[in-house]
């Protein structure tokens, strides 16, 4: 008699407590989660990222077991663990006497290919099932833009608002405007106290000891008994409640600010819970939307719209770009950049205060908020001409929320413009002017933000002008940058020469800045 049993794989970022798979308990189904070297080793991860993923996977497996599901959980040091999805699945199909294999649709191209190949090679029927997480299908962005000249987040976002009836009054946006971005550009002035971030004291000492014993290479800091990130549904919900109560009223207003006084300001810090699917984007949007409706005095439209745009707009859009453009997206290098990533990305030891702060907190918390990623570390890597492969590897390793579908589109696309303008219509570069406008970094910096060349000249200044100058053939016709070229062209030849010399000198000794 055939055993009639199914093996179902759940990946480390597929911890969807609300998935229909788990609604009924079926003893003919075995769920498997596995901690494996192929996943710990494809890039060097921040130790908090690996610890949080493993802790979240373990909590999820325990939750499944408590509900009566049959679960196999392979820890990294389990003797039976073959350390790859394919090898473990092949073995488990036999040991669990299963005659069917099912898996949830992976979000990463590499894993998707790996599992598709595996499924093809197995002697049993297989099925791939939706993760029931995203608001759009894998290819919805691609299909939406088919036949159109350019990808444009804003038009996709408006379509999402209509389709999901979010912040709409009939077919019009609530308040009459689609986008309140211009109201999201305030410097943090200290007037509103920053809420203390909601953190946890998860003990991950066993996990980290296991990683060390196994020789898994990681970097970054960790407090073994106090991992601050949510590792189960209950904790994830607590972060969501905290955000809605304390941060949402100021979210949009200070979204683009940076300050040495806080590492997360009014940001939600929900990306890890979202990307591992412990929370769904729709429930996050609904919770925030409900809070806004309940108290429009306290939470104005610009705040809620700014937040919804990130999740309903940017997050879904980036995923769509990923599936439209992979795998060739991963090798794009529009500017042919080839420099090494400076050493201080791994240590934070630099005289540039903005970089020291953004990198320092990334190493301490495995987190930096969007504008730090884009306008400090990303901006600098682009101005310095760093190879996008190295930039990607750093971002994919360092952040708690880094999974390739959302990391590479943000890094290679939005931040490095290595895709030549698929995600963004111009490179996100800036000199010290922007940094000073949006942060308190410059006032206590070794470098002088007002100086372009000479002693203690802020490196961002000369590198910024030099970037435009040396990439004129690629950017000169972009109408969004025309004004900057006019400013450059008005500078005297001697000023231009001094800037070029300064930039070239800084690029030669990038590691010493």
Contact residues toward ligand SF4 (CB under 6 A) are 352-354, 432, 435, 441-442, 445, 447, 449, 458, 460
A 10 A CB-CB count for 121 gives 10
Whole-angstrom Cα distance, residue 330 to residue 418? 9
Nearest to 322 by CA among 112, 128, 155: 112
Q: How far is the CB of 476 from ligand FAD (least distance, A)?
A: 25
Q: How far is the CB of 441 from ligand SF4 (least distance, A)?
A: 4
Burial track 408-443 (b if 16+ CB lie within 10 A, e otherwise): bbbbbbbbbbbbebbbbeebbbbbbebbbebbbbbe
- Of these, 407, 419, 440, 466, which contacts ligand FAD (CB under 6 A)? 407
- Of these, 8, 30, 31, 39, which contacts ligand DLZ (CB under 6 A)? 39
Q: Which partner in ligand SF4, ligand FAD, ligand DLZ, none is near 40 (CB below 5 to 8 A by kind)? A: ligand DLZ
Whole-angstrom Cα distance, residue 237 to residue 198? 11
Whole-angstrom Cα distance, residue 299 to residue 291? 8
Nearest to 402 by CA among 270, 272, 274: 272
Instruction: Count, in order, helices (H) and strands (E) of the chain.
Output: 23, 9
Distance of CA 211 to CAs 57, 134, 274, 364, Å?
A: 15, 31, 25, 19
Residues 304 and 395: beta-carbon distance below 8 Å: no
Nearer to ligand FAD, 119 or 438 (CB): 438
Whole-angstrom Cα distance, residue 506 to residue 513? 7
Nearer to ligand SF4, 211 or 432 (CB): 432
Which ranges in 281-352 belong to alpha helices (H)? 281-294, 301-308, 316-325, 344-347
> Is residue 89 at the binding interface for ligand DLZ, with CB under 6 A as the rule?
no
Examine residue 425 and say whether the peptide bond preceding it is cis (omega within 30 degrees of 0).
no
Write out the binding residues for ligand FAD, residues 281-320 only, by CB under 6 A.
310-311, 314-315, 318
Write out the binding residues for ligand DLZ, residues 9-38 only, by CB under 6 A.
11-13, 34-36
Q: Which partner in ligand DLZ, ligand SF4, ligand FAD, none is near 268 (CB below 5 to 8 A by kind)? A: ligand FAD
Counting every residue, how long is the chain?
A: 513
- Of these, 233, 242, 369, 452, which contacts ligand FAD (CB under 6 A)? 369
Nearer to ligand SF4, 153 or 442 (CB): 442
Q: Which partner in ligand SF4, ligand FAD, ligand DLZ, none is near 329 (CB below 5 to 8 A by kind)? A: none
Q: Which partner in ligand DLZ, ligand SF4, ligand FAD, none is near 35 (CB below 5 to 8 A by kind)? A: ligand DLZ
Q: Report DSSP letters for 92-138, one per residue.
A: HHHHTT-SEEEEE--SSHHHHHHHHHHHHH-SS-EEEE--S--SS-T
The CA radius of gyration of the chain, in Å to the nearest whole number, is: 24
Q: How far is the CB of 45 from ligand DLZ (least distance, A)?
A: 5
> Is residue 111 at the binding interface for ligand DLZ, with CB under 6 A as the rule?
yes
Mark residue 220 as left, alpha or beta (left: phi above 0; alpha: psi -120 to 50; beta: remaining). Answer: left
Write out the binding residues for ligand DLZ, residues 385-444 only, by CB under 6 A.
403
Task: Name, in order, each residue with C-beta under 8 angstroms of 433's C-beta and a sequence gap of 6 or more.
Answer: 449
Q: Which partner in ligand SF4, ligand DLZ, ligand FAD, none is near 395 (CB below 5 to 8 A by kind)? A: ligand FAD
- Of these, 76, 274, 355, 463, which contacts ligand FAD (CB under 6 A)? 274
Residues 12 and 131: beta-carbon distance below 8 Å: no
- Of these, 7, 32, 51, 53, which contacts ligand DLZ (CB under 6 A)? 53
Distance of CA 341 to CAs 49, 114, 346, Å?
A: 21, 30, 9
Residues near ligand FAD (CB under 6 A), total: 27
- Of these, 48, 275, 430, 439, which contacts ligand FAD (CB under 6 A)? 275
Nearer to ligand DLZ, 12 or 459 (CB): 12
- Of these, 156, 334, 395, 506, which contacts ligand FAD (CB under 6 A)? 395
The residue ranges that bind ligand FAD (CB under 6 A) are 267-271, 274-275, 310-311, 314-315, 318, 369-370, 373-374, 378, 395, 399, 401-402, 406-407, 410-411, 414-415
The residue ranges that bind ligand DLZ (CB under 6 A) are 11-13, 34-36, 39-40, 45, 50, 53, 106-108, 111, 403
């Amino acid at each position: 008699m055939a055993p009639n049993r199914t093996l179902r794989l759940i990946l480390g970022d597929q911890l969807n407590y609300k998935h229909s798979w788990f609604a009924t308990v079926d003893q003919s189904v075995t769920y498997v989660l596995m901690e494996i070297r192929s996943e710990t080793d494809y890039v060097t991860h921040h130790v908090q990222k690996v610890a949080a993923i493993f802790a979240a996977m373990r909590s999820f497996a325990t939750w499944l077991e408590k509900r009566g599901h049959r679960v196999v959980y392979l820890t990294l040091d389990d003797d039976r663990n073959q350390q790859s999805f394919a090898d473990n699945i092949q073995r488990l199909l036999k040991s669990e006497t299963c005659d069917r294999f099912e898996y949830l649709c992976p979000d990463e191209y590499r894993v998707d290919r790996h599992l598709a190949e595996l499924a093809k090679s197995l002697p049993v029927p297989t099925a791939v099932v939706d993760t029931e997480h995203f608001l759009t299908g894998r290819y919805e962005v691609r299909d939406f833009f088919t036949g159109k000249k350019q990808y444009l987040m804003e038009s996709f976002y408006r379509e999402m608002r209509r389709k999901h009836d979010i912040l709409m009054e009939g077919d019009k946006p609530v308040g009459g405007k689609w986008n309140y971005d211009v109201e999201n550009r305030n410097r943090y002035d200290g007037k509103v106290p920053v809420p203390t971030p909601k953190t946890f004291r998860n003990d991950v000492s066993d996990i980290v000891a296991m990683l060390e014993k196994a020789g898994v290479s990681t970097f970054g800091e960790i407090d073994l008994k106090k991992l601050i990130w949510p590792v189960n549904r209950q904790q994830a919900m607590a972060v969501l409640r905290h955000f809605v109560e304390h941060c949402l009223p100021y979210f949009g207003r200070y979204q683009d600010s940076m300050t040495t006084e806080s590492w997360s300001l009014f940001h939600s810090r929900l990306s890890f819970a979202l990307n591992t699917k412990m929370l769904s984007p729709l429930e996050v949007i609904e919770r925030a939307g409900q809070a806004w409706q309940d108290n429009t005095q306290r939470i104005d439209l610009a705040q809620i719209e700014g937040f919804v745009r990130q999740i309903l707009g940017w997050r879904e859009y980036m995923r769509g770009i990923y599936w439209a453009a992979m795998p060739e997206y991963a090798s794009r290098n529009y500017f042919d950049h080839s420099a090494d990533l400076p050493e201080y990305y791994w240590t934070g030891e630099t005289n540039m205060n903005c970089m020291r702060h953004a990198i320092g907190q990334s190493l301490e918390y495995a987190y930096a908020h969007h504008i730090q990623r884009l306008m400090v570390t990303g901006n600098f890597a682009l101005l310095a001409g760093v190879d996008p492969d190295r930039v990607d590897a750093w971002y994919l390793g360092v952040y708690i929320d880094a999974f390739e579908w959302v990391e590479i589109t943000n890094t290679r696309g939005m931040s490095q413009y290595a895709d030549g303008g698929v995600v963004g219509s111009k490179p996100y570069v800036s000199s010290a002017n922007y940094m000073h406008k949006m942060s308190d970094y410059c006032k206590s910096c070794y470098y002088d933000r007002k100086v372009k060349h000479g002693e203690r000249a802020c490196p961002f200044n000369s590198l910024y002008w030099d970037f435009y100058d040396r990439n004129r053939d690629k950017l000169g016709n972009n109408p969004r940058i025309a004004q900057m070229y006019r400013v450059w062209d008005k500078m005297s030849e001697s000023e231009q020469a001094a800037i070029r010399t300064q930039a070239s000198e800084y690029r030669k000794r990038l590691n010493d800045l």
